[in-house]
């Protein structure tokens, strides 16, 4: 039997047409298009691209967006049931429960035909933001706000969260956040989802596998970790001690390092720009400045210790952006999932289109 690669490092498990990463040069493409070019599109257009393989023209985008808007509402009974969720912790747990309950309301649940899968996909993409915003309102004793059909995916999310319209820049930042979070080849949650799909289980079940896997602090949960770390560090004077102590005890600095990127994560650079713009608009650059300083200290610590540099990943400046959008850290992973859902759907469809059950071997010792 072949030698075991711990953590499957470098193992190529399947062919995909959905995204491409060059981890040495720091290149990420969705369906052949550089992430830098996609960040200015709408989330609806990028979701269409991921699922159907092409950037939609106006005649394709409009009906797709209309379908998404039509499906934003969630059944009031569902919200009633969700009141029993524990909102003290990461909302990911509530989202996982909500998707499980949504499955019972979905008339197509066990229909695994392509047409039914498209209908379920639209409903899932459309309802993730509604659910997460509703949890926030319920957790804080506020009235749940209905979606506004005139707003984009990102603007509508912030509106449902706050009960007030975001600025144009905030709305743009939220759209970009969803786009940058949408897809990343065979990351752990997508792999988990594809394994579930490969058994010909249904879409809701596969998405729940993705959610459960995204939650971990080495994956999507690191975004919450970054936000909490910024709070723990508090001010620039504390950075060096924090970083040195963590490295000395072999503890991870959240939002740094990546299995595939050996250079700067291209998404982190885009997040850095948008986080800076939002901080500037709000006239409060504290978190952004602190993050820049953490990045610099990390770099110098690595150089001094003759270690390979460890760069910020997608979770670092997204965490900073959320702080400047006044989003609490316990929402971070569930907001990541709002973006990631369209990538998950694309992988679910790709797995179904040319399926073989995913079943590797283990080496008995």
Ligand X SMILES: O=C([O-])CC(=O)C(=O)O
Residue ranges in contact with ligand X by CB under 6 A? 184, 187, 259-260, 313-314
Mapped onto helix, strand or coil, the DSSP state of residue 21 is strand
Name the residue whose CB lies closest to ligand X. 187
Q: What is the CA radius of gyration of the chain?
A: 20
Active site residues: 258, 315
Compare residues 219 and 286 and give the one whose CB is closer to ligand ACO: 219
Contact footprint for ligand ACO (CB under 6 A)? 7, 187, 218-220, 222, 247, 252-259, 307, 310, 313-315
In Å, how far from its chain's centre is CA 169? 20
Host H or E run for residue 191:
helix 188-198
173's CB contacts (< 8 A; 6+ apart) are 154, 274, 275, 277, 278, 321, 325
Name the residue whose CB lies closest to ligand ACO. 257
Compare residues 147 and 255 and give the one whose CB is closer to ligand X: 255
d(CA 184, CA 315): 13
- Least distance between ligand ACO and beta carbon 175 (Å): 19
Binder of residue 168, out of ligand ACO, ligand X, none (CB less than 5 to 8 A by kind)? none
Binder of residue 222, out of ligand ACO, ligand X, none (CB less than 5 to 8 A by kind)? ligand ACO
Compare residues 155 and 195 and give the one whose CB is closer to ligand ACO: 195
Compare residues 193 and 279 and give the one whose CB is closer to ligand X: 193
- Least distance between ligand ACO and beta carbon 232 (Å): 15
Binder of residue 7, out of ligand X, ligand ACO, none (CB less than 5 to 8 A by kind)? ligand ACO
d(CA 202, CA 352): 10
Can you give 53-108 as a three-state secondary structure string? CCCCCHHHHHHHHHHHHHCCCCCHHHHHHHCCCCCCCCCHHHHHHHHHHHHHHCCC
């Amino acid at each position: 039997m072949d030698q075991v690669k711990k953590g499957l490092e470098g193992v190529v498990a399947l062919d995909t047409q959905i995204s491409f990463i060059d981890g040495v040069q720091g290149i990420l493409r969705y369906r052949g298009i550089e992430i830098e070019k996609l960040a200015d599109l709408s989330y609806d257009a990028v979701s269409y691209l991921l699922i159907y393989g092409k950037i939609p023209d106006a005649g394709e985008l409009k009906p797709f967006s209309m379908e998404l808007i039509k499906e934003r509402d969630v059944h009031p009974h569902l919200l009633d049931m969700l009141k029993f969720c524990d909102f003290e912790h990461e909302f990911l747990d509530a989202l996982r429960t909500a998707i499980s309950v949504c499955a019972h309301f979905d008339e197509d649940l066990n229909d695994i035909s392509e047409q039914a899968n498209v209908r379920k996909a639209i409903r899932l993409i459309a309802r993730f933001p509604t659910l997460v915003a509703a949890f926030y309102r319920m957790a804080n004793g506020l009235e749940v706000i209905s979606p506004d059909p005139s707003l984009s995916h990102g603007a509508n999310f912030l509106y449902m969260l706050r009960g007030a319209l975001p600025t144009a820049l905030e709305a743009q930042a939220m759209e970009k956040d969803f786009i940058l979070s949408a897809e990343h080849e065979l990351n752990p949650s997508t792999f988990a989802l594809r394994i579930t799909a490969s058994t010909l289980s249904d879409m809701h079940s596969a998405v729940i596998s993705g959610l459960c896997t995204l939650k971990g602090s080495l994956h999507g949960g690191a975004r919450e970790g970054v936000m909490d770390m910024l709070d723990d560090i508090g001010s620039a004077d504390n950075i060096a001690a924090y970083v040195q102590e963590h490295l000395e005890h072999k503890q991870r600095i959240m939002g740094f390092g990546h299995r595939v990127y050996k250079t700067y994560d291209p998404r982190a650079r885009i997040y850095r720009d948008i986080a800076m713009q939002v901080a500037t608009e709000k006239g409060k650059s504290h978190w952004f400045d602190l993050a820049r300083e953490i990045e610099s200290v990390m770099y110098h610590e690595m150089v001094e210790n003759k270690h390979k540099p460890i760069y910020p990943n997608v979770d670092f400046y997204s965490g900073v952006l959320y702080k400047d959008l006044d989003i609490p850290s316990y929402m971070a992973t569930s907001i990541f999932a709002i973006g990631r859902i369209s990538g998950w759907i694309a992988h679910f469809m790709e797995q179904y289109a040319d399926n073989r059950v995913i079943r590797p071997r283990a080496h008995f010792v």
